[in-house]
A and B are shown apart, each in its own frame.
Chain A
């Protein structure tokens, strides 16, 4: 009985030493060992070594079989030549006991320390050399005397291009936006492809015109899903179009990354696990606009000029709430319709209401109409406009009348941040024009997708979708990470127009 118990313990011990399942190459692994200790971890699971790692001439030596199995390599032992070999993927390493010469992929390399057989009979090899030769990363922590070997997930290489679809407006009232959507996405795709693609596979961007129209967008998305078999869809960029089609992506379980900014596309409303937003939503922007008006401009009597569609009215709802939180009463709200060209009466009333700041919640042409009238009637208060007041479509029309206007923007090409500058320069070089919102978000979006595919180790849309929820990526819009509302970023700018460019007043966050 006692004998049986001992046997069991021996088996248990063995299991403790060798009982870890060798990781599969594709999965990657993190191996941690400590000098002089038999305790080690592989992917956070404790294992016990039969021989503690030791340092010789500044190099850490570990049992040859342990490291090979930990990183998932095939191990060979040739007793005649006294050589050890490791094969992982397309890497092949041969070491000889007592020799500083190693052969990596058929090429002779010289080691600092030769592999050797310890007096205990264990064969040890230099861990850094082995790890780095097969492409793993080695970190050394001097205080804890711990070595961490990170084996990246082996990159499966896909031969067929990875299809992604962009649905954006190229005709219709939003056509200029389509140009920017495509400009950003295509730039990222071309950069990625030039640098070798995603795990060796090229990205193939297919672009369709959705005319900023929900029914056309539905046709485009169905085509992307059914016939193109896209792994992810970028756009539509128009909120109303996204509302009409995001359920299609959900049904097909294909991630949809959009630059549409309506607050109604937040996860708490859509409950769509496949819908992600690539730039700050309008709710966030209006809140920041109000915050700036109250905290920096110290305005107490805001007046609002309001457009009539959903973009404007949902901005108003957020603005009302935000002002209320500060205990500030909006003294006058004047409305106009899209297409209105005379706002004499509205501006007169705002002026007579004694407002100390004009909050513009309209689209671009209406913003221009308002500003021309503001200048004509000499309404001399700060003007703080919503996102439509911060784009060329407004400043081109308003001309000099736009000088001095402050706007909340999703993107400002004048930002001096190096990542932004690099993007702006590349965009200009490629397209001969300056990028404007939303170009940056589709640019970031494609890079995000690349990272998600790499993390998922698969082009399966469901796995990409899972990965999108966890990946972090630092791009033109700073750190992008999926939050509870499925928004990747809340970045926005408060900027002021000086007649040529928008000077950044503050960048949030």
Chain B
């Protein structure tokens, strides 16, 4: 094992890990705002990728148009989620558990819908982030150009989210609503509006992630469930469900653990090892491993 091999694996682990983190951000955002876990979180990634594929590859719209339209639809979908899933559940006296069950079913629903409409076979993603086989050579290390896009967008998204949640009024409204809807309402926050915004932002973030990830994941059902969904959720849990930065770091840790367990132990035990680590973290630090501040209640 030479140094360049190690670096190469760190880059691989970090990129895939960042993708888990991105997906986790969607979870965090909704939790931050309404304290609900959307198990159909990952569906937004798949839907956005297929929408973008439809607009860009099939309908030949430009990159920007295809991107904006796809994300707008995904945001509208977020709004629909609130009004067609969350509100009816609340009206009928349902709570967190009911929402979990409903969104779990929704996840399967979207997988079947996409299967029916597009077939189950993975489609190549148009090379909008550079050809899949274009690599940037740095010494003896070679990095696919799409990796740079992923790093860049993850960085920007984390920054934007961090500023939004921590530094802006909207962010405070979100966080206040998340903690105590009744009281938020009593200080004049329009809880209905923040809830809608939270849903739209959550689905949009994951939608952007979906389009960004499609060069690696292809336009495939893998973007709508399976390992990425679970690991994105795991990343969010490592971020204590509230910390965007912690979530990204959580995702990176999972990506690196996967790579290094393959490299130094065995590829056969990769998933076992990562999930053992996750369970240990959950038991040991249920509020997230990167819980910088002590939170009150």
Contacts and interface: CB of A to CB of B under 8 A. Distances in A.
* Contact between A and B in the complex (any CB pair below 8 Å): yes
Interface of A: 169, 171-176, 334-337, 339-342, 344-346, 348-349, 352, 364-365, 368, 372, 375-378, 393, 396-401
Interface stretch (B59-67, B94-102, B130-138, B289-297): B130-138
Contact of B8 (A173, A344, A365): A344
Contacts of B260: 345
Given A176-B121, A401-B132, A368 B218 contact: yes
A171 B120 contact: yes
13 contacts: A171-B112, A171-B120, A174-B120, A175-B119, A176-B120, A339-B226, A349-B263, A352-B1, A364-B121, A365-B122, A372-B132, A376-B144, A377-B142
A175 B121 contact: yes
Nearest to B1: A352
Interface residues of B, number: 45
Interface in B88-114: 112
Nearest to A372: B132
Nearest to A172: B120
B173 interface: no
A338 to B, nearest CB: 8
Given A173-B121, A175-B115, A365-B122, A342 B12 contact: yes
Interface of B: 1, 5, 8-9, 11-13, 15-16, 19, 112, 115-116, 119-124, 131-133, 135, 142-144, 216-218, 220-222, 226-228, 255, 258-260, 262-263, 267-268, 270-271
Contacts of B262: 334, 345-346, 349
A348 B263 CA distance: 8
Contacts of B216: 341-342
Contacts of B121: 173, 175-176, 364, 393
Contacts of B122: 364-365, 368, 393, 397
Contacts of A376: 135, 142-144
B235 to A, nearest CB: 15
Nearest to A392: B121
A401 B16 CA distance: 20
Contact of A378 (B124, B142, B143): B142
Identify whether the interface residues of A are mostly helix, strand, loop, or mixed.
helix
Given A171-B119, A342-B13, 13 more contacts: A171-B112, A171-B120, A175-B115, A339-B228, A342-B258, A344-B9, A365-B220, A365-B222, A372-B133, A377-B8, A397-B122, A398-B132, A399-B131
B131 A344 contact: no
A176 B271 CA distance: 30
Q: Which of B13, B262, B270 has the most CB of A within 10 A?
A: B262
Given A337-B227, A344-B13, A400 B259 contact: no
Contacts, number: 110
Contacts of A342: 12-13, 15-16, 216, 255, 258-259
Contact of B5 (A334, A352, A368, A396): A352
A48 B142 CA distance: 88
B12 A396 contact: no
A341 B267 contact: no
A211 to B, nearest CB: 9
Given A348-B9, A393-B122, A397-B218, A171 B258 contact: no
A303 B221 CA distance: 29
A174 B15 CA distance: 30
Contacts of A349: 262-263, 267
A397 B131 contact: no
B115 A344 contact: no
Nearest to B127: A399
A401 B127 CA distance: 13
A397 B124 contact: yes
Nearest to B117: A171
B115 A396 contact: no
Contacts of A398: 132
Contact of A341 (B132, B222, B263): B222
A335 to B, nearest CB: 5
Given A375-B133, A376-B135, A378-B142, A344 B119 contact: no
B120 A173 contact: yes
A172 B120 CA distance: 5
Contact of A175 (B120, B227, B271): B120
A398 B133 CA distance: 9
A388 to B, nearest CB: 12
B209 to A, nearest CB: 13
Contacts of A336: 267
A372 B19 CA distance: 18
Contact of A399 (B11, B120, B124): B124
A349 B262 CA distance: 9
B142 A341 contact: no
Nearest to B227: A339
Given A175-B120, A368-B218, A399-B124, A345 B271 contact: no
